Structure 1
């Protein structure tokens, strides 16, 4: 696990965008695994700047997002589909057919999980997977206790996760109880993983990542076993 420590959120965002730029330039048909939340927003803003400046194109890029809320329509501003279109997709030249997110508003969630996993396997491997770090150690929406062998699945969100995400909603009562997420095994099949850590509330999780034991009670600990993980840590958050 390679640790890169920076002293500002701007530096974290710019460096993360550089990793994506390098990945896109390294493959004829790059496959990216993308994340949502507040931490990657600066990275997406930087990618848009690179696109406007002619330094990057998404025309041959395929993307798979980590997760999506269950029971939230794609035109709802709190859906991750809406988020991704708002912060990146509609502002660059990516093809709609190359954009993939789980559909959390379907009647058959189990079939959606199977289908999403199949799409990743057929197009993959994911060349670069972007991750954030939950305060409780979750990656994607894989909460503490999730099996390291899990593939794409429906998860009941931990109260601490819903509480952290309530800042995007009017109240915690509006935060969905369930989500579809790539499983830990799915994530671990990525060729390269880039973990972004920023914010005071993540400091304990970051310490546990570096110093804790390998345990399903702290899902991010599995990253210790991946051969190509880079962590960008903003020490001035």
Structure 2
């Protein structure tokens, strides 16, 4: 696990976009794992800028969303399928049919989850997974107590997550209680994971999943077991890390050819 502490979300977006652009240059049909929420927005903004101004090509790429609400009507403004379109895929030249998301409206949720797993595997798996992290350490919608080996499935949201997401709805009463989410085992299958966290409100979660024990109570801590994880944080999110100075020293003295 590599921890990179940067001055601002803009620099975080640039560094993550550098990794994605390099991936697309060497593998134009790369499979990207796409997260929603505020954390990935600087990445999507930078990728969209590079597409418009520099011709970064997504025409052969595929994207797989991390999660989706259960029970929202098709086309709902806050469904993650629509959010991903607005924030990223409609701003680049990725083919609409190459953008995939879990089906939160399926009659048979279990079968739909398996089909989603199968569709990822058919393309060789996710090459680079973008993640944010919740204040309780969840990634995707793998809430505290989630199985560390879990696959794509339906989950019940804890009230803190519903409160955190209420800002996107008229009120907390409109926030669904259930979601379909990639599991922790699914996320761990990605070849490279890039997790973004900004702001003081994420500092405790960052400390716990980076420097604490691997535990189902902090879902993101499973990333300690992944062979290629990059954690991009600003100074506020890094403020509780005991080894922050070491992470800075390591990155400052990293070979220029190594990348992230």
State TM-score, norm by structure 1. 0.97
Task: Note the alpha carbon deviations across 1:149-185, whole angstroms, 9 max, x for none.
Answer: 1110000011111111111111111111000000111
- Match in the other structure for 2:106: 106
Indicate the SS of the match to 2:206: helix
1:166 aligns with 2:137: no
Distance 1:47 1:172 in 2: 32
Distance 2:120 2:157 in 1: 23
- Match in the other structure for 2:245: none
- Report the alpha carbon displacement of residue 26 of structure 1 after superposing the two structures with TM: 2.0
Distance 1:149 1:207 in 2: 22
Distance 2:122 2:110 in 1: 18
Q: Kindly report which structure 2 residues correspond to 1:29-40, keeping only aligned pairs within 5 A, or say none.
A: 29-40=29-40
Q: Tell me the matched-pair count.
A: 237
Single out whichever of 190-199 and 8-17 deviates more from structure 2: 8-17
Which contiguous aligned blocks of 4+ residues in structure 1 show a shift greater than 2 angstroms?
none
Single out whichever of 31-40 and 90-99 deviates more from structure 2: 90-99
Unpaired runs of 5+ in structure 2? 238-260
Distance 1:88 1:218 in 2: 28
Q: Kindly report which structure 2 residues correspond to 1:102-181, keeping only aligned pairs within 5 A, or say none.
A: 102-181=102-181
- Name which structure has the greater RCO, CA cutoff 8 Å, separation 6+: 1
- Report the alpha carbon displacement of residue 125 of structure 1 after superposing the two structures with TM: 1.9
Distance 1:216 1:34 in 2: 23
Task: Note the alpha carbon deviations across 1:40-96, whole angstroms, 9 max, x for none.
Answer: 112111111000013411101011110000011341111011111111111211111
Whose Rg is larger? 2
1:71 aligns with 2:76: no
State TM-score, norm by structure 2. 0.88
Q: Kindly report which structure 2 residues correspond to 1:1-237, keeping only aligned pairs within 5 A, or say none.
A: 1-236=1-236
Indicate the SS of the match to 2:93: coil
Please tell me whether the aligned partners of residues 34 and 130 of structure 1 are also in contact (alpha carbons under 8 angstroms): yes
Indicate the SS of the match to 1:53: helix
Task: Note the alpha carbon deviations across 1:202-222, whole angstroms, 9 max, x for none.
Answer: 110001112211111111110
Aligned CA-pair RMSD: 1.1
Distance 2:167 2:71 in 1: 19
